Chains A and B, each alone.
Chain A
Amino acid sequence: MTASDVKENVILVDCINQNCPMPLVNTRATIMKSKKGDIIKVIGTHPQSFEEIPMALDAMGKKIIEKRQEGNKWYIVFEV
């Protein structure tokens, strides 16, 4: 399953221009409001968060579907 297969129920978390720790915090806040099976897509620009959010997701046992860098923006798509 890739991000392009998922058309519905993708919850977007816009962290563009946010600095530490807000991308991580907002990702977590969104997880808390979602339910098991929901797909969350986080978009941001903070370089360190592109490494650390996947680490946090792994630590919490969340399945990462896709992560990619496009210019100065990164995208992380995962399942709750």
Chain B
Amino acid sequence: MLNEKTKEEVMPESKKATIIVHSGGMDKVMSALIIGNGFLSINIPVTIFFTFWGLKALTKNGFKKLSLSKMNILGLGKVMIRAKMKKHNVASLEELAKSFKELGGKIIACTMTMELMGIKKEDLDQTLIDEYGTVGKYCIESKDAQITLFI
């Protein structure tokens, strides 16, 4: 089986990975994107499905608005972590999302969440989103995936 984008042979024992991002914490979205980048870097195709609080990350400038999932301390915790990230040259959410797409990763936005939270397509960053779907899409993608994660 060939990786569609690179035409390399995909390792037969690792078909693909899917990740659900249900959490809206900056640190959790970051973990999801780092892991997604990691799998893509070893030629394992990845689909990330953003739902519920996670969908907020896909809104325009959404990455900047996310709070830390713990120790946010009214924003002070986030400021401190961002400063540390800068000092240690850690990639930002924006950079991670960009490289995720460049390496061939797929992003699906949950339409049920969009309805519940009153989020319209125009509110979302269209450069990130490949498809829209609900649980059916996630399950169909995941049934052939060797690896699936819930974040």
Which A residues form the contact surface with B (CB < 8 A)?
A: 17-22, 24-25, 27-29, 31-32, 56, 59-61
A32 touches B89 (CB 8 A): no
B41 within 8 A of A: yes
Q: Which chain A residue shows the least CB distance to B11?
A: A59
A-chain residues with CB within 8 Å of residue B88 when the two chains form the complex = 19
B116 within 8 A of A: no
Q: With A24-B41, A60-B43 known to touch, is A17 a contact of B89 (CB < 8 Å)?
A: yes
A21 touches B91 (CB 8 A): yes
Bound state CA distance, A60 and B99, in angstroms? Answer: 19
Residues of B in contact (CB 8 Å), total 22
Which B residues form the contact surface with A (CB < 8 A)?
A: 5-6, 8-9, 11, 34, 37-38, 40-43, 88-91, 95-96, 99, 102-104
- Residue pairs across A and B with Cβ atoms less than 8 A apart, 20 shown, are A19-B88, A19-B91, A20-B34, A20-B90, A21-B37, A21-B38, A21-B41, A21-B96, A22-B99, A24-B41, A25-B40, A25-B99, A27-B41, A28-B43, A32-B5, A59-B11, A59-B42, A59-B43, A60-B43, A61-B9
